[in-house]
Amino acid sequence: MSPMSRRRHAQLHLPPLAPQQALTVVAILERAIDAIIRAHGDDMQHYTDMQQQEARARRHGISIYNFLVDPDVDF
């Protein structure tokens, strides 16, 4: 697999941390994740469900057109 064809993933590059600092970073990230889920959890679940349905359809050679999605929504 060439480096250009790999899917990019979000990464955080942190300096070496003391154990207490590492725990603080983990706590902050967990709180951020919880806040994102509280604010957008339903929409994220709907989007994930749509992606799974589309993937299943593609495996069977079917195209899905979702006309219920507002094309003017800013992401």
In a domain, 12, yes or no: no
In a domain, 58, yes or no: yes
In a domain, 67, yes or no: no
Q: With the CA atoms of 46, 26, 7 and 47 taken in that order, what torsion angle do they form, in degrees rounded to the nearest 10?
A: 0
| Domain coverage including residue 29 | 17-62
In a domain, 70, yes or no: no
The dihedral through the CA atoms of 68, 55, 75, 4 has a sign that is negative
| CA–CA separation, 57 and 46 (whole Å) | 17
In a domain, 7, yes or no: no
Tell me the one-letter amino acid at 53. Q
In a domain, 51, yes or no: yes
Cα Rg of the chain, angstroms = 19
pLDDT for 54? 84
pLDDT for 29? 93
In a domain, 69, yes or no: no
Query: What string of pLDDT tens digits covers the 75 residues of the chain?
Result: 455 557 777 888 999 999 999 999 999 999 998 998 899 888 888 888 888 888 888 888 877 666 555 555 555
H helical segments located in the chain: 19-59
Task: Look up the pTM and report it.
Answer: 0.53
In a domain, 72, yes or no: no
Domain count, the chain: 1
